[in-house]
Amino acid sequence: MTNTKLKIVALIAMLIDHIGYFIPDTPEWFRWIGRIAAPVFIYCIVIGYKNTSNRKKYFLRLYVFTVGMAFLNLAINQKLYSLFKLGSIPNHDYYIMNNFFAPLFFIVFLIFLIENRRIGSIFLLFLWQFFSTFAFYFIVEEYKLFVPADVNPTYQFLGSLFGNVLFMEGSILFIILGVIFYLSDGDRVKSAVGYTMFCLIILIVIQKVKVVRITILSVLIPFGDYQWMMIFALPLLLLYNGKKGMGLKYFFYIFYPVHIIILYFIGLWLR
């Protein structure tokens, strides 16, 4: 299976997942199907990074879409909150929190640092995670920026824009998964073992969070009980034949924000 075909399968799974997320009263199994989407896209982004002929353009494209999606989310959330304050729409507590471009960009950036053994830069990047977490908390909680009724959209905006993994979609686990795929270096056995162990750890930790209610772990692992179902992406990853396929590069970049916005407003209308 080519890279393009893998992404098409992931795109279909993502669409089904987001229908289940945004549209009220859809069956829960829509979300189950969607668990295979993120791992496949992350796998493909690592492959894309390794095979691209121009990494600067690759970085720039991912970051432009990351920033663009962050501002698009912010604009929509701000507008709807303003309409709610004016009384033009009823009680509004339903915001866009999706920006999968952000963890994808962070993954390739971190891989670049690892590949080039930028130990000092990696240390500074980890230091930034701690510093920015406290800085964002102070800014958001003190000034109640953008959407005062719900601080989560603001945290997501700042995390996407300034590279804080705690406030990105998927949190730190998507980043770890990307590094696992990179370190596997295309070896199917290493990929399978690493990915299986990753899914098993997620299953165990989520159950731990569920029972003990550990707040910090719930932030680091913001997933539902069925996240372990991402293991079913493994056969798809093993079917990859090392070929690029037809491309469709910008189709995937454009489809993501367009389908999010359409489904969001359909869901808003149906609520």
- Alpha-carbon distances of 71 from 20, 77, 105, 130, rounded to whole Å: 24, 10, 16, 24
Cα separation, 164 vs 215, in Å, equals 18
Amino acid, res. 265: F
Could you read off the pLDDT of 68-98 as tens digits, one per residue?
999 999 899 888 877 777 666 666 667 888 9
Question: In this predicted model, what pLDDT tens digit does every residue of 30-75 receive, in sequence order?
Answer: 999 999 999 999 999 999 999 988 999 999 999 999 999 999 998 9
Give the per-residue pLDDT at 214.
Answer: 47
**What is the domain range of residue 33?**
3-270
Of 147 and 262, the structure prediction assigns the larger pLDDT to 262
| 219-239 per-position pLDDT tens digit | 555 566 788 899 999 999 999
Better-scored residue on pLDDT, 226 or 2: 2
Q: What is the reported pLDDT for 231? A: 95
Residues 158-208: tens digit of each pLDDT? 999 999 999 999 888 899 999 999 999 888 999 999 999 999 988 887 776
**b/e 150-189 (16+ beta carbons within 10 angstroms → b):** bbebbbbbbbbbebbbbbbbbbbbbbbbbbbbbebeeeee
Amino acid at 73: N
Structural domain count, the chain: 1
The per-residue pLDDT for 213 is 47
Query: Residue 5: what residue type?
Result: K
For residue 101, pLDDT over 80 is answered with: yes
* CA 159 – CA 166 distance, rounded (Å): 7
**pLDDT value for 262:** 96
- With beta carbons less than 8 A apart as the criterion, state whether 179 and 110 touch: yes
114-142 per-position pLDDT tens digit? 999 899 999 999 999 999 999 988 888 77
